Amino acid sequence: MQDEVREKSVALTIKVGKAGGRLTAGLLKWAIRKYLAQAQNPKIHHGKQTVKQLVSQGAGVQNIEITGKNIKSFERVARKYGVDFALKKDPAQGKYLVFFKARDADALNAAFAEYAGKSLNRSAQKKPSLLGQLSHFKEIAKNLTRDTAKNREKGGALNCETGCKENPAP
C-alpha cells in the first residue's frame, strides 16, 4: 500500500512538473512575441507629451510662444481639439513655447481662438470677491440696531443695551 501511494505521488509530481514547464515555456513565448510586436510598432502618444516624444513621431514640428498665466486652461482646449503638443518653459523670459505637429496647425489655430476668447471673457467679467462681499455685509450687520418694539409685541424681554432698567412682567 505504501509503495502504491508513493508511485502515484511521484507520477502526479512528474505530470505537474511537465505541465508547469509547458505553461512557463508558453508564457515566455507569448511575452517575447508581445515585446517584439511592441518594438516594431511603438506607441504613438496623443495630447500633451514631451518634446522628445513629439519629435520622434516623424512629423514636422513647429512652435509658438505664449505667456504662462493660464496654461491649464490652454491644455483643456487643446485636448478638446485633439492637438498633439508639448510645452517647454523658457526660464530666461518666463514664457512658454508650445511645440506642435505641422499637420495640427489648423486645429491649433481653432484651439487658440477659443482659448483667447475664454481668457478675454474671463478678464472682462470680473466677479466681485466673495470675501469682499462678506466683509461688506458684516459691516452692515454691525451697524443695524435691534428694534425693541418688535420684542415687546411678541412678549419678549427688552433689549437692555438700549438703556432699560428692568424687564416688564408679561
- pLDDT per position as a tens digit, 25-63: 888 899 988 888 877 776 777 778 888 887 777 777 777
> Model pTM?
0.42
Between residues 159 and 82, the one the model is more confident about: 82
Question: Which residues lie below 8 Å from residue 88, measured CB to CB, with a gap of 6+?
Answer: 51, 96, 97, 99
Helix (H) or strand (E) holding 122, with range, is: helix 105-124
Q: What is the model's pLDDT at position 164?
A: 53
Per-residue pLDDT tens for 90-121? 878 778 888 877 676 787 788 878 877 776 76
**Which segment of 46-60, 104-118, 128-142, 155-169 scores lowest on mean pLDDT?**
155-169
Between residues 162 and 16, the one the model is more confident about: 16
- Contact present, 78 and 104 (Cβ < 8 Å): no
User: What is the distance between the alpha carbons of residues 104 and 59, in angstroms, rounded to a whole number?
Assistant: 10
DSSP calls for 45-79: P-SB--HHHHHHT-S-EEEEEEE-SSHHHHHHHHH
Question: Looking at this protein, which amino acid is placed at residue 28?
Answer: L
Residue 170 has pLDDT above 60, yes or no: no
Helix (H) or strand (E) holding 108, with range, is: helix 105-124
DSSP calls for 136-159: HHHHHHHH----HHHHHHTT----
**Which segment of 24-38, 56-70, 147-161 scores lowest on mean pLDDT?**
147-161
Q: What is the model's pLDDT at position 30?
A: 92
Rounded-to-10 torsion of CA 76, 82, 86, 92: -50
- Contact present, 97 and 85 (Cβ < 8 Å): no
Helix axes 71-81, 105-124, angle to 10 degrees: 140
